Structure 1
Amino acid sequence: MASDPTSDRPAEPGDPAGLDPAETLRMIQRQQQAARDAVEPDGRLLFGAWGLAWLIGYLTMWFSARATGHPEGWAGWVLAGCIVGAVGFTIVHSVTRTAGLRGTSSRVGAMYGWAWFLGFTVFGVMLGAMGDAGASYEVMAIAANGFACVVVGLMYLAGGMLFEEARMYALGAWMLVTAGLAAFAGMPNVYLVMAVAGGGGFLVMAAVEQVVRGRRRSPGTARAADGGAQSA
């Protein structure tokens, strides 16, 4: 009987016959991580959206307030538009990323997305109530920035726990620290703190997220995945 000409050939990269148990386990873990990344909110996009919103919005407020200590009305609309855009993006991204899932995962994603809407709705109502009660401009400014930081910080803490993302949780903690720092910065430096510490913190974490994902998809990882797909 003729022998199989392929029986004695050396194992090629990606060939399941040439993988040891440890490498097989690593491939399975990489595939699981890829599947998880596909159905959970992308930190790069969320961090980037909020980072740009805070950096642009609060720098605009600071620049317009340097001369008088009070920002111009148009700057407030720029900030409001940036925040509304970031909230809207977060809701849509969180809901659509989990839309294909069923059961608990889908419900958690939807509830987390809409919690942003509820948080900032109540935030606006509370500011309106403070204005009706006769709060001064300085008090309103501190409260507006502090409440925004607290809402965002707590939502990121909750997201870190729900999605088991340490970086999201760490960013939430940093935003709470930013709220405390901004409260004592005075006018108009409170806006600069929010832009640099708040917006900058988001953008730094977006860069960290990109590096982490890049390491997961290193050339060696990609070759192993491609080899496994071809052998299948």
Structure 2
Amino acid sequence: MIGVDDGPEGDAPEGDAPLSAIGSLAVIQAEGRRVGRLVRFNPAIVNAMWAVAWFVGFGCAFLAYGPDRLIPGWLGPAVAAALLVAAEVASFAYGMRVGSGIAGPSRTSAAMYGWSWTLGYVCLTVLNVALTHRGLSGPDVTLLWSGSSLLLAGVLHLTGGTLFRDPALYAVGVWTMVCAAVAVVAGVPGNFLVLAFAGGGGFAALAVYTGWVRPRRARR
């Protein structure tokens, strides 16, 4: 167009100038960090959710048990069940969101491990309900549900620690199984305190370790 200086022939507009090697490397590294944040699984988030679910849920179950209960009897089991189910659903959803950015055998292994939790607890629920309908009642039902649920969770954590070569996940599996055994030995309502403080405390300690201690060691 007459009156407009297009500059030397072949020159690219200033905004479309090619990046230098250093600039290109910076863009690649920034994109890599962004993708890494999307696909990296942060165990501290999951462990913190389970710590809250165990501490608050089983704490309410203890407060709702017996003639001297401090809250309505129906509220304790309801809160515990709701928080544990919510933690399971949130953990599964978080794992699926992170896994959506991963392809290949790693994604398949993670999906199979995630579904193991769902299938395991569905079968455990059927088993415990069947035993309850066959005459098991009272404190024995409480010990059955808490002990078997924690034992299954511990075994699945052990499996996850072995599968992903994660010593921290393996350690929480061992701790969960120990809590399950101690809770059954303690009886009702002491088992609720064991689950709230020992179980919830174990998850809280693991959340601190995976979210703060281990990253600091890795940076060093």
Same fold (TM over 0.5): yes
- The residue identity in structure 2 corresponding to 1:163 is F
- The residue identity in structure 2 corresponding to 1:42 is N
Query: Which TM-score applies when normalising by structure 1?
Result: 0.74
CA distance in structure 1 between the aligned counterparts of 2:216 and 2:38, rounded to whole angstroms: 16
Shift of 1:39: 3.3
Q: Which runs of 5+ in 1 are unaligned?
A: 1-31, 222-232
Residues 36 and 156 (structure 1), Cα distance of their counterparts in 2 relative to 1, 3 Å cut: farther
- The residue identity in structure 2 corresponding to 1:98 is G
Shift of 1:217: 6.7
Aligned match of 2:162: 161
> Could you say what the CA RMSD is over the residues aligned between the two structures, in angstroms?
2.5
Aligned match of 2:77: 76
Aligned match of 1:58: 58
Aligned match of 2:187: 186
Larger radius of gyration: 2
CA distance in structure 2 between the aligned counterparts of 1:87 and 1:169, rounded to whole angstroms: 18
Shift of 1:211: 2.2
Aligned match of 1:133: 134
- The residue identity in structure 1 corresponding to 2:152 is V
Aligned match of 1:91: 92
- The residue identity in structure 2 corresponding to 1:99 is S
Percent sequence identity is 30
CA distance in structure 2 between the aligned counterparts of 1:188 and 1:174, rounded to whole angstroms: 20
**Conserved? CA contact 1:40–1:163, under 8 Å:** no
Aligned match of 1:113: 114
Shift of 1:89: 1.3
Structure 1 runs (4+) greater than 4 angstroms displaced: 34-38
**Conserved? CA contact 1:92–1:113, under 8 Å:** no
CA distance in structure 2 between the aligned counterparts of 1:99 and 1:191, rounded to whole angstroms: 37
Shift of 1:56: 0.6
CA distance in structure 2 between the aligned counterparts of 1:176 and 1:37, rounded to whole angstroms: 32
Q: Which runs of 5+ in 2 are unaligned?
A: 1-31
**Conserved? CA contact 2:64–2:75, under 8 Å:** no
Query: Which TM-score applies when normalising by structure 2?
Result: 0.78
CA distance in structure 1 between the aligned counterparts of 2:117 and 2:52, rounded to whole angstroms: 18
Aligned residues: 188
